[in-house]
A and B are shown apart, each in its own frame.
Chain A
Amino acid sequence: MEQVKLTVALIIAVLLQWTLRNIAEPLMYVDFVLIVVVYAALQRNSLRAILFGTFSGLAVDALSGGLLGANGFTKTLIAYIVSEIARRVYMDNLLLRIPVIAGACFLDNALFYGLHRLLGQEMSGDFWINISYALIGTTVAGTVIYIFFDSFLTEKASNRKREIFPARRSSRRRNPIRLGK
Chain B
Amino acid sequence: MVERSQKEVWKLTPWLVLVLLLGNFILMAFSAKDITSGQRLIRVWGLTVADFVQSPVATVSSGMTNYFRSIANLRTAQDENTQLKQQVEELQLELKAKEGLTAENERLKNLLDLKDQSKYKVLTARIIGRDPSIWFDSAVINQGSLNGVKLNMPVVANGGLVGRVTAVSPLTAQIDLLTRDKSGLGAVIGQVGVSNALGVVMGTSKSGLLEMKYVPGTTDVQVGQAVFTTGQDGIYPSGLKVGDIFDAKSYGSSQPYQILIKPAASLDSIQEVGVLLYEPPPTVPFDQKVSTPTKEKKK
B120 to chain A, nearest CB (A): 25
Check if B213 is an interface residue, CB within 8 A of chain A.
no
Contact with B along A129-156 (1 / 0, CB 8 A): 0100110000000000000000000000
Determine the distance from Cα of A17 to Cα of B53 in the docked complex, in whole angstroms.
Answer: 11
Mask of B75-88 contacts with A, CB within 8 angstroms, 1/0:
00000000000000
Question: Is B61 in the interface zone, CB < 8 Å from A?
Answer: yes
Interface of A is mostly: helix
Task: Please tell me if B132 contacts chain A, counting CB pairs below 8 Å.
Answer: yes
If over half of B's interface residues share one DSSP class (helix, strand or loop), that class is named, otherwise mixed; here it is mixed
> Which range holds the interface residue count of chain B?
35 or more
- Inter-chain contacts of A63 with B (CB < 8 A): 46-47, 50, 129, 131-132, 140, 174
Q: With a CB–CB cut-off of 8 A, which chain B residues contact A54?
A: 19, 22
Give bound CA distance, A17 to B130, whole Å. 9
CA A18 – CA B139 in complex, angstroms?
11
Q: For residue B181, which residues in chain A have a CB less than 8 angstroms away from its CB? A: 122-124
Task: List chain B residues, Cβ under 8 A from A113.
Answer: 135
Residue A65 lies at the interface, judged by CB distance under 8 Å to chain B: yes
How many angstroms between the C-alpha atoms of A113 and B203 in the bound complex?
A: 17
Residue B128 lies at the interface, judged by CB distance under 8 Å to chain A: yes
Closest chain-A Cβ to B95's Cβ sits at a distance in Å of 40
Name the distance in Å between B10's Cβ and chain A's nearest Cβ: 14
Q: Does B180 contact A (CB under 8 A)?
A: yes
Q: A19-B129, A65-B136 provided; 13 other pairs, C-beta below 8 A?
A: A15-B53, A21-B129, A22-B128, A22-B129, A23-B61, A47-B15, A54-B22, A65-B166, A66-B133, A68-B29, A121-B182, A124-B137, A126-B206
